[in-house]
Amino acid sequence: MPWAEVGAGSQRNQTSAASADSTTLVFPANVAADSLLVVAGACWAVAGAPASVAVTDTLTTAYTVLDVANVGNVRYFIARGLAPSAGACTVTVNPDGAASDFSFSIDEFSGSHATPLDVDGGSSTGTSTTPSDGITTVTADDLLIGVMTHVAVSSPTLTKGADYTQIGEIENNLTTQCHHAEFRIVTTAQAYTVDWTVGASVAWGCYTAAFKEAVAAAGQPTMRRWGGVPYQRLAGTPGRSW
Amino acid sequence: MAVLINHMPITLATGSQTFGPVLVPDGLTSITLRLARNTTATPLIWPLEATRITADMEISTDGGITYRHVCGVTAGGGLVQGKQGEATETVLTCLPLPAGSGRRVRVPTTVVSGPLVSELTVEVT
């Protein structure tokens, strides 16, 4: 089953908070069981980057958080979990500490492998207008997720990379912590660059991860033609060797 | 931008209270809730960290018959340093707002260890 962004983007949502303990954010429509729920963002605190970021939701999805704190007082993260059931879903993000500035985006993807992580791409930092992080996928047909943030006391524009689709962004970096999250569905296991463009040179950090798509069910092998569009044998067709 | 509730003084006892509903102008796509915070210049506003509030934003697209949660925030009081010095507000912004005509927004709140003295602002852009 190939990756697909559920609702062609209608499940995207984003929020920001300042001087807050935690925030909640709702998926615009019910999520489906076994969907990959993605939460990506960044948080800041005056005393130093929050020690951790807890992500939970009302479906009791078990989230795994990939995160790092290596630029300013900011921790940025990509969290993902497989929805255990279908239904309305409210996500809570709670950085460690009582009062943080933070923002994040959420999205839903269908077609996830039961153990989704293919590659933890880790992070990159720099000072420029072109944040990027390289990631080399191991498995074909991955979903690439990237999130970036910066520590300038300004709010320049944040623009997705040319090959990517924006999940969400908060550009305000004066009264909250900015982020930009994006994704791409790829077909070939190889090296990729996840990139953005910032409207001014800033000290930035970005994190990437790649996730595997579902394995075809027994008797339902998936073939692919050029372009990566899947063909599947119709159920009940006479047995053939693939 | 439209300011739906503008620096309304509030004193919230421990417990729950709902503000609104207020009409959201058509075509606007994001909503921001602001709660004035304790600063050295405003020592009577929300001085205790133990005084905590959960404020949600709920929207109706059917004329106020039903409401659905959009986003929410939980925060405690006391002096907090922000990126530009003392934080003057706890702020929550979420987008995009569900589309529709004649939308209404309300803000249910729950306060622990009140009373909570602050000012509430809700604006949409």
How many structural domains are present in chain A?
A: 1
Cα A31 from Cα A99, distance rounded (Å): 30
Q: A98, B49: Cβ pair inside 8 Å?
A: yes
- Asked if residue A165 lies in contact with residue A203, where contact means CB atoms within 8 angstroms, the answer is no
SS3 of residue A9 by DSSP? helix
Above 80 in pLDDT, residue A37?
A: yes
pTM: 0.91
Largest CA distance in chain A: 66
Residue by residue, DSSP assigns B60-124 as ESSTTS--EEEEEEEEE-S--EETTEE--EEEEEEEPPPP-SS-EEEEEEEEES--EEEEEEEEE
Cα A160 from Cα A146, distance rounded (Å): 10
Above 50 in pLDDT, residue A227?
A: no
Q: B52, A21: Cβ pair inside 8 Å?
A: yes
Q: Let me know if residue A176 belongs to a domain.
A: yes
Q: Let me know if residue A128 belongs to a domain.
A: yes
Nearest to A131 by CA among A207, A43, A40: A207
Place of tokens 């958080």: A65
Above 60 in pLDDT, residue A228?
A: no
Does the predicted interface ipTM exceed a cut of 0.90? yes
The order of strands in the sheet holding A22-26 is A53-57, A90-95, A22-26, B68-76, B52-60, B104-112, B15-23
Pairing of strands A90-95, A22-26: antiparallel
B68 touches chain A (CB under 8 A): yes
Q: A25, B81: Cβ pair inside 8 Å?
A: no
Q: Let me know if residue A240 belongs to a domain.
A: no
Distance from CA of B66 to the nearest CA of A (A): 15
Domain assignments of chain B as residue spans, ordered by start:
2-124
Q: B73, A20: Cβ pair inside 8 Å?
A: yes
Q: Let me know if residue A191 belongs to a domain.
A: yes
Cα A240 from Cα B25, distance rounded (Å): 60
Domain of residue A195: give its range.
4-214
Q: Which residues of A touch B72 (CB under 8 A)?
A: 23-24
Q: Which CATH architecture has domain B2-124?
A: Sandwich (2.60)
Q: Let me know if residue A57 belongs to a domain.
A: yes
Mean pLDDT confidence for A163-171: 97
Backbone angles phi, psi at A9, to 5 degrees: 105, -5
Cα A193 from Cα A147, distance rounded (Å): 13
**Span B60-76, pLDDT tens digits:** 999 999 999 999 999 99
Task: Give the start-end residues of each E strand in A96-153.
Answer: 100-110, 112-128, 132-136, 143-150
**Span A82-118, pLDDT tens digits:** 999 999 999 999 999 988 999 999 999 999 999 999 9
Q: Which residues of B touch A14 (CB under 8 A)?
A: 94-95
Residues 18 to 57 of B: which have CB under 8 A from any A CB?
37, 49, 52, 56
Q: Let me know if residue A201 belongs to a domain.
A: yes
Confidence of residue A176 (pLDDT cuts 50, 70, 90): very high
